Structure 1
């Protein structure tokens, strides 16, 4: 599960808790980047989603120690001792693998999971793994015509698995930011002496194909500053912690005045707190895009064509710039396209 997933899925967990207040919800977060290299562990174990899950009133326990093979085995053993009567896998990648994991977690329980609509003749082992599920739900295909929004997909899964109906308004993401982190954001804005109008720019995503060159972000700021509307604005450039050294070098060389680097290094809630105080968010296809909707700040999103179900849910406060070709990377979106949207977008 990624932050983008939980942005929408938390609303489903909320509905499930409201329908069944007695229910204990334990959430397994699998780490697909699991590594036996100790150098990888500090970054993996500090995944910011864990802060949000810990604060969630809808999740009673979370399995997060899955970033190394040894800890993964320990987590499985811990889960087995719970003897869960029902386990539901909502993993839409490698469903067959998680059928095996779910059955390992609950050898005697009733397990439910997703499965592809069709398996090819040479995928017999995958089909056999899927048979470990007692019941299955069809997996959506991103390339289907008229694929629904991811919030609708998740709501359908919960309706199928748990029999709860989640009305569309209740699928809209919200986020409760603790007062501690709102104070942090306001203090940071005061330290930076930011003006009332602030633009947040994020060029990073987990997948390289969804990233935008950081140099281009600084060029965008220069071009926006050339426009009367943004001449007095402040700018915040988001940086993932592991790339801060590189970003700082670029910043020292390219950053215009009143531009500040930001990274949520202490707690997840630093990010939505800062976002909530901005006037406009410009971001590639990643969690920032969905959090922008959750904190009700206008967003311009740079996206690939491959996953239309992940467009921002708030269409009135969102604008999307798509690459022109299927499978093209976000780097194909050039600066003039973004500036055109910035200048034409009425809420900017």
Structure 2
């Protein structure tokens, strides 16, 4: 039996995925479609990614994402990131006791664990998920064999939005929307961000702003501070009317602030850990600036949603994650830091403020 035969009769469904903000920008479109198609459903979300040891940034990102998910009208309940293994077991038992009619998952990392725990939560109810296209280990093969339905992850598309759409269609039977669902910003967040930017402009006398994001969750996707400063200095010469706002993850705020303080005030730099105040503040910041320069993180996808002029630095292997509306994407064959500053500067000059 397939999902489209189960969902019309179901009352409670759990969706599981290792969500990041960038993933959710696209997945929320299809989760909304599930709820619109089957309005009787209680749609719950499982956030824990089954990492044996959480990364330094995991808790902060998960907290931001949980707050966003809980604000969505089409989502009823959100299970948080597990603090440790004991907490994870408590969450699993809690989810199992809720008696879901169906559990489905999309996971491209630790997929064998998702198959194991989705089956545990579903118990005897319907359970389906995305199966990796590579060779499975014997235990992985056994775990997936216990699901009611497996969808091979062999989808090919020009964009991550299209790929996620194909995955959701295979798992739910719903024809995917072509466009990404729009974001509605919190009015309080918009006003707070606008006030902050106005205050940053005052000491410099600047009128335009660029949000700069050089950090990610891995060194492979980071652009060095030294190189980014080189880009900013060159851009400031071309656009002296511009303020450069440096975005940073909360756990690196102090380090980046100390770096910006060592620079001349004449260069129009400010530092803000906008993501520490929630996803809505981060989104409001992206909407408020005139342009965005970023590595491959959620900010690139937020800029695309708001159709902001942006230059994005990416690895070639992540080309399918290219933001749909990016003005210019510069690719590196291996590490993002391999992209020369001169190339980044030229792209910004050509695509910003035109």
Larger deviation, residues 1-10 vs 235-244: 235-244
Q: Is the 2:59–2:81 contact (alpha carbons within 8 Å) kept by the matching residues of 1?
A: no
Deviations 1:55-102 (A, max 9, x none): 112211110141321211111011011111200011121222210011
Q: Name 2:127's counterpart in structure 1.
A: 111
Q: Name 1:88's counterpart in structure 2.
A: 104
Q: Name 1:241's counterpart in structure 2.
A: 250
Q: TM-score scaled to structure 1, two decimals?
A: 0.89
Q: Which runs of 5+ in 1 are unaligned?
A: none
User: Cα offset for 1:45?
Assistant: 7.8
Measure, in 2, the Cα distance between the counterparts of 1:13 and 1:203. Answer: 30
Q: Name 2:211's counterpart in structure 1.
A: 200
Q: Is the 1:34–1:67 contact (alpha carbons within 8 Å) kept by the matching residues of 2?
A: no
Q: How does 1:6-25 map to 2 (within 5 A)?
A: 6-25=24-43
Q: Name 2:175's counterpart in structure 1.
A: 165
Deviations 1:205-227 (A, max 9, x none): 11221011123222211110111
User: Cα offset for 1:345?
Assistant: 2.4
Q: Is the 1:210–1:331 contact (alpha carbons within 8 Å) kept by the matching residues of 2?
A: yes
Moved over 6 A (4+): none
Q: Name 2:323's counterpart in structure 1.
A: 312
Measure, in 2, the Cα distance between the counterparts of 1:93 and 1:78. Answer: 24
User: Cα offset for 1:278?
Assistant: 0.7
Residue 255 and residue 18 in structure 1: after superposition, are their counterparts in 2 closer, same or farther (change >3 A)?
A: farther
Measure, in 2, the Cα distance between the counterparts of 1:206 and 1:42. Answer: 9
Residues 1:189 and 2:197 aligned together? yes
Residues 1:130 and 2:141 aligned together? no
Residues 1:269 and 2:280 aligned together? yes
SS of equivalent to 2:316: coil
Measure, in 1, the Cα distance between the counterparts of 2:54 and 2:296. Answer: 29
Q: Is the 2:62–2:80 contact (alpha carbons within 8 Å) kept by the matching residues of 1?
A: no
Q: Is the 1:210–1:284 contact (alpha carbons within 8 Å) kept by the matching residues of 2?
A: yes
Q: TM-score scaled to structure 2, two decimals?
A: 0.87
Residues 1:175 and 2:162 aligned together? no
Measure, in 2, the Cα distance between the counterparts of 1:97 and 1:31. Answer: 9
Deviations 1:296-331 (A, max 9, x none): 2111100001122100112xx4210001x2xx1111
Q: Name 1:71's counterpart in structure 2.
A: 87
Q: CA RMSD in A?
A: 2.2
Residue 167 and residue 65 in structure 1: after superposition, are their counterparts in 2 closer, same or farther (change >3 A)?
A: closer
Q: Name 2:74's counterpart in structure 1.
A: 58
Q: How many equivalent pairs are there? A: 331
Residue 173 and residue 347 in structure 1: after superposition, are their counterparts in 2 closer, same or farther (change >3 A)?
A: farther
Residues 1:345 and 2:351 aligned together? yes
User: Cα offset for 1:150?
Assistant: 1.2
Q: How does 1:218-237 map to 2 (within 5 A)?
A: 218-227=229-238, 230-237=239-246
Residue 319 and residue 249 in structure 1: after superposition, are their counterparts in 2 closer, same or farther (change >3 A)?
A: same
Q: Which runs of 5+ in 2 are unaligned?
A: 1-18
Measure, in 1, the Cα distance between the counterparts of 2:215 and 2:352. Answer: 25
Q: 1:28 aligns with which of 29, 34, 46?
A: 46
Q: Is the 2:30–2:177 contact (alpha carbons within 8 Å) kept by the matching residues of 1?
A: no
Q: Is the 2:50–2:113 contact (alpha carbons within 8 Å) kept by the matching residues of 1?
A: no
Q: Is the 1:65–1:75 contact (alpha carbons within 8 Å) kept by the matching residues of 2?
A: no
Q: How does 1:285-300 map to 2 (within 5 A)?
A: 285-300=296-311
Residues 1:330 and 2:330 aligned together? no
